[in-house]
Structure 1
Amino acid sequence: MYLIAPALSTAVSLGLALLAWQRRKTVGTLTFVAMALSAGIWSLGYTLELGSPTLAEKIWWVRFEYIGIVSAPLAWFLFALYFIGRDNWVTRRHIAVLSIVPTITLLAVWTNGESGWIWNTITLNTEHRIPMLETTHNFWFWVHSAYSYLLAVSGSALMLRSIYTSAAKYRVQIGILFFASVMPLVGNAIFLSGASRIDLTPTGFAVGAILIAWGILRHQFFEMLPEAHNAVVESLSDGIIVLDTENRILDINSAGRNFFSLSSEDDMIGKPIESILPPSAADLMQRFEQNPSTNYTLELGTEDNPCFLDASLSLLFDRTQRAIGSVINLRDVTARKLAEIELNQQLEQRKILQRVDAELTRKLDVEYVTTMALDLIVRVSRADAGSISLMDEDGNLILKQSLGYNAEQIKWITDNPHSGIVERVIISQKAELITNVLKDPDYVPIIPETQMQITIPMISQARIVGVMVLETRSRENFTEENFGFLQLMTARIAVAIDNAGLYDTAQKQFADLKELYDQVSTLEQLKTDMIRIAAHDLRNPIAVITGYTELLEEMMDDVLTDQTRDFLARISNALNRMNKITTDILSLERIEQAAQIDRAQRVNLPKVVRQAFEEFNGQTEAKQQEYILSVPDLPVVVVGDGVELHEAISNLIGNAIKYTPEQGRVSVRVAQHDNLVTFEVEDTGYGIPEEQQARLFQPFYRVDSEETRSIDGTGLGLHLVKNIIERHNGKMIFRSTYGEGSTFGFELPLPTNNGT
């Protein structure tokens, strides 16, 4: 019967060692294996000691027992350190120091015959049914006993202390281990006090081993140590909620408690998860049951301090793949969610601004722009009333549009445009959001129920074009966020209104200019008609006077004095000059009429130049001028009016001969350069002063110099040539040096392959 308790302790202890060994990867489990083996060796040795008949056999098994006796307290203390999360204390150096006393004790036991440190005497008492050893102890036995109790009690104290710092689900584990460690101490204390001849320590081990075995099977020892839970789970920034199969809370870490503003874990253990979820997420578990792999967003906190959690579910299974619960992981995604909300708001605001731009630029009309603008901004701001007043040229506000006001209120705004906050905003040129109009000294009530008001100056190109006013009866419609957005909208509206106003002004100016243009065109046409009629009607009188003057010269040739002949010559010269003027005027008219009719034909320019050149041979011979012609032998064809080109060429050659003194030189040449043909007349005449060259091609302008004053001319020739050349898509050529001569000419484009 005495052997049953130690034998049971041996079996259970070694079984626990084997079971713990299978979970040796868990932190601290190896120290528990060592403790269970130590208890098993102690119990096995004591069992065999009791069963041995001789003194020598009993002494040997006592020595074997001490292998477990000296190592069990140390293993228990090290296991307690691991269990409470002080594994950083378990170093090789500390283990070596803690093993000094057990090592000396074990050596003293096996050498007691020589040293006598443990027992003074060892005898065999055979008076009982089972022979028992009777010993008297020496000093080291008590040193070893005190040291072992110190380790055992310290380990138990650490366990007891951790009850107050561990999660509730681990307090049962700690309690079981504490009582399992106390049982051997109680049994050993009874034996050492002499109250029992049988060493009850193995019996205590048996009771403790049974408690631990129950804890392993019932409370899942070694799946995770409490302090590992504290070190890992409690330190996570994510919230962790462990649920059973009925969705009741088994555990919730610190982050999870903070998310739901829970003061204590104990208050929630065993309660349904729905008891801590906000109303908006009351069906979270139902959603997880439908889609376990889907993440859901929980919204907690307040409007001013929101909190968004990303919730995901993981199922828990035991070794037989039986569902034993689930874990909800809660990740704080507030920053990301707020960023998404802000981004969505910005995108929505951008769409609104694009719509504002599209609506306001559809029609450049102030009435249309102000109507559309006020309608859009009232709807976006959720205002109950609003108005837009525009600044006139005198700096006075004129009510342009209004919404939400009755007739009496509109009249008051019209009569008092600069009252209250509006005038303050005009002066400061800064928008204002009045969150409580009753506290603003400048507020003038228009709608009695108004709680908040927004007043925004409409600024374009650094000047105020108007003021927008928005009012609401609610204290929630106007916020700092939409206040900023409304300022952006108002800035665009101000630019649109300014553009519409500028467009109206431009339209009015255009109408005035068109009316002026029509008047000028009428006067120009009248002037042209008068000049043309005058030129045409003057030709007949001039011809008559010319004829009679020539007749007088012939009839009175014998009686005319030199003075009379001079008078008739002057009359003749004046008539010739008038005839030239009327001819040039009619030529200009003909060119303008020809511009309306396409008379283009292929013209051999060198041929036209030769014809014109030969017409002036008599004049150059009379002035003894050197007259030179240089043209290509092959045809150079241009597209144009041959008659007009002949007139332009003749005019330039005639001018060169006229303004070149006797014995001078006049050179006429034609040259082809790529896609252009040039005609030039170079003379060694008087040249043109530089300050008069800019006006040379203006109608009726004549060069005024000492050499040319006596030369007759109308001032229309070069203007006539320029018009002809420009109508042929050409460009005039002109170079002149006063006192040395001039070069006049033009360049014309050659036709392309298609003849144009």
Structure 2
Amino acid sequence: NEIPLVAQIICICDHYDILAGEISGERRMGHQHALNELEKGRRKIFSSELLDKAIPILEVWGPRNISWMRDVKNVHAFFISDPFDSLSQETEGDQEKQEDSSEKTFSPRQWTLARISSDFSFMENAEPICTLAKSSVCENFFDIVEDSGVRDTQKSLSKLKDGQSVTFSLPSKQGTTLELIFIRQKYGYEILYRGVNEAPLFTRKYSLFYQHFRKTPEAELLLDQKAIVKDVNERAVELLGFPRQGLIKKELEGLFSPFLSKAQLFSFRQFMTIVNEDIWSEEFSMVNGCGESYAVQVTLERLLGIENHQLTYLCRLRDITARKKMEQEMFHRDHALQLIVHNISGLTGEFFFRSLLQQLATITKAGIVMVGELTDEGSGIQPISFQQQNEFRDKEKYYLADCPCRKIIQDGEIFLSERVQETFPLDQFLHEEKIESYWGLPLRSQNGSIIGVLVAMNDKEIIRSKSIQAIVKVLQSLAGSELARMQTARILKENEQQLESQNRDLIRMNQLKSDMIAVTSHDLKSPLAAIIGYANLLEEYFPTMEEEKKIHYIKRIEEEGQKQLTFINKLLDLYRIESGTIDLEFKPKRLDLLIRDCIATREHVAGAKNITIELTIEGVPSPVLLDQVRMDQVFSNLLSNAVKFSPPHKNIDVRYNQEKNEINVEICDRGKGINEEEIVNIFDRYYMGRTNFDVRPEGSGLGLYIVKNIITLHGGKVSARNRKNGGSCFMVQIPVKNNEQNNE
């Protein structure tokens, strides 16, 4: 009964198509099988009434093509009959007269088959269709059709191909409307026809309306033009408290006027006299026939499209007593909320929560109330505001284990009116305060995550009516919003501090970068200037120049070119480190031997300043996995810096200590040391010391940055410190990895 008729019909067509097979010679063979299977579904899948209508049509159309049956217009033409339901209280004689008149008025509704040729001449069954059209027997079909529709109909029929169909509704020359379905055949056309009546369309619409009127759960009355009751449904009888016959023929104004105000009565009478308005609606209190008082909403609506009929108005009554009671409760609740909002408006932070808790304690009569923030990744509660016996107290953070707040975080709102101590036997605070009732609500952020709790508890029962629940829900929302605001403000402050720190770092890095660019331009330009100068001298004086000078100039060109190459290699290493493309080739090597080689290559530079580099080895040196080229780069850089910043006639100490799991290398000079404020920055990119130098040192500020990254890629650490007696020390720690560990 819940499935629309059209859907049922389409379902029958689908079943038939599946059962009968494709449209071909086999279709005719499966036709009877399909009809038999549909019969088996009677009262199981399809209603008997529907099958009684569908099977005769399928018998005619099944072997051809039933796709046209899925067209809604054709469905109405074939399957929807015209119901005739009486709406008024007619006598049996009136009903008999109506039946007699309907037999005279309505044409037959069954379908009849006729055949015509391609030139529209009748070939079979001409007499029945001519009789239906109230015409004498004719030879040509279009002799019975109104001339105005002949041309368009012929044009449409000429476009049909074999097996195709089209539906028409055509007036005859005598004024009778015919419902026609043409099916194109090789010899001409088959025609399915029947008479069409205008009256059943109204009757059908009226009948559906009346069926809804009788079955609707809303109380409704049908009224005539003078607002006199013509019919009532069961719900209206129940609501008004009068018997059905006592309501019929009663004036609506007389029924409601004792309960209407003067303004409402005036608007009702105005509605009855002014046709422009379609709906009148009012709310008022009334007493029904049983003496029961209730609030009612009355809507009076004109029935459009049913003019010149005895029914003109539909009156709908709705019991709104519960709604009015709710509105009254909401009014009192809103008044209480206005007081709350007034008391806490303009407050934030702790003052806000204190005022809110005072309101919560007042309306719930709770001795202890609290707002707490969820901390320690959801394992603890930090009370923000805590009131006990009208006094605000400081309460330390506590953890959720074995306390009611844990259940709030897990399950949401909880309310225990008794046996709180038995439910949470390990919560010492509940036992100390002899808590018997507990009401806890979660506080949520905008994304729905729980960020805190709102709690009320007492040694007696907490008041928790529906109205109070609604107010507490508002307090819960306000507390959650304020707590979220506080957390956001806290995060913003932390972010602001972090941004300030980052901004300072960026300013420092920008200055370092500017300095690096200046140094870079100098370090690239100076060797080039020297190379060009020496090359010009060789070019101009080469034939007359002494051999010793030639060799000296060539060596200077080579040295300056090597400087430039070294600097460019540092820039390339910086790029590889920044882009993450630096590759290390780990092989077993003895680091102590590598350091000896680095010292040997720096001895001639150190010797020029009468500086001695002393190496001390502790432990048992053994091969470890390292990148020889990069590690050579590390210690060459550290030794070069030590020589550069050491004064003449001083020693540089290099201590090597290899233990089981770690190698420690320390390179100490006896220079002026590093400014304590700068020591934390010396491994930064582009950084060069700004103080404690008589002459600005050469360099790019990249060496130690590259050193740090190479050591980090080896899994080690590098650091720096100042010596007590002057000078600085650089410490390198590298984990010992042998070949077996690397394979693991």
* Interval containing the TM-score (normalised by the shorter chain): 0.3 to 0.5
Rg larger for = 1
With normalisation by structure 1, the TM-score equals 0.32
Higher helix share: 1
With normalisation by structure 2, the TM-score equals 0.33
